[in-house]
Structure 1
């Protein structure tokens, strides 16, 4: 029973740490694409939505776009991006930003470094607070079980 009070928070810390890693990595990829200075005209091949949640939780809908463009070297690249604008429809031409070494990590989002930093910062702050809460919980659980041990024969 006592191990459960340690295992669950440690598992949650691992999951939230992985989320923080993904947020940092995607922010770096988008910033790299914007900083490269390379752009291309891309065609939106497909749009679709995904939903998550339901039941007792809030439903969240994400709009995805699939784009295809040609790099300066003549390579055709297809990529998918979530949270795109609702005004981009199949067949539309948009400007994409990409890094020469990884064109598959392109983005159709217009450069907005402040917004990117704020979004990543807020997510990392949330992850940090969540991890701190888990650590406090583990510490309190440890103290509680230690105190109970003093009263047991």
Structure 2
């Protein structure tokens, strides 16, 4: 029973760290694409939504777009991006930003100020940091309680 109070928070911490790494990696790719200096006209090939939640939790919907464009070297590239504008539909054209080294990491999001991207990432990192700290505090309190309970046993 005691192991459960360590295993579950440890698993939650592992998922939080994975989410943190994913968020930082995605922000870095978007920033690199904006800084890459190359643009191309892409066509939206497909749009679809994914939903998560339900039951006793709220449902969230994410809009995804699949784009195709041709690099300056003539290479055909397709990529998928979440969170684009709801007004963009199949067949629409959009300007994509990419780096010559990694055109598959392109983005159709319009460049934003660095401060905005940093603020968004700061909020995500702060939330996940507090979540991880909460899990660690829970584990420490559980350890203390189990230690004291063990001392009370004859």
TM-score class normalised by the smaller sequence = over 0.9
Any stretches of 5+ residues in structure 1 without a counterpart? none
Q: Say whether 1:121 aligns with 2:122.
A: yes
Aligned to 2:37: 37
Q: Say whether 1:98 aligns with 2:107.
A: no
Report the aligned-residue RMSD: 0.7
Alpha-carbon distance, 1:12 to partner = 0.6
Write the deviation string for residues 97-125 of structure 1: whole angstroms up to 9, x where unpaired: 01111111100001113322222111111
TM-superposed CA distance for 1:29, in Å, is 0.4
Unaligned runs of 5+ in 2: none
List structure 1 segments (4+ residues) > 2 angstroms apart after TM superposition.
none
Bigger strand share? 1
2:140 corresponds to: 139
The SS at the match of 2:104 is strand
Q: Secondary structure at the match of 2:53?
A: strand
In the alignment, what sits opposite 1:149?
150
- Inter-partner Cα distance in structure 2 for 1:12 and 1:26: 21
The equivalent of 1:63 in structure 2 is 63
Q: Distance in 2 between matches of 1:16 and 1:129?
A: 10
Alignment of 1:2-17 (within 5 A): 2-17=2-17
Aligned to 1:25, the other structure's residue is in SS state helix
Inter-partner Cα distance in structure 2 for 1:21 and 1:80? 19
Deviates more, 1:108-117 or 1:36-45: 108-117
SS at structure 2 position matched to 1:88 = coil
Aligned 1:66-81 pairs, distance under 5 A: 66-81=66-81
Aligned to 1:24: 24
Alignment deviations for residues 4-56 of structure 1 (CA, whole Å, 9 cap, x no partner): 11111111111100100000000000000000111000001111111111111
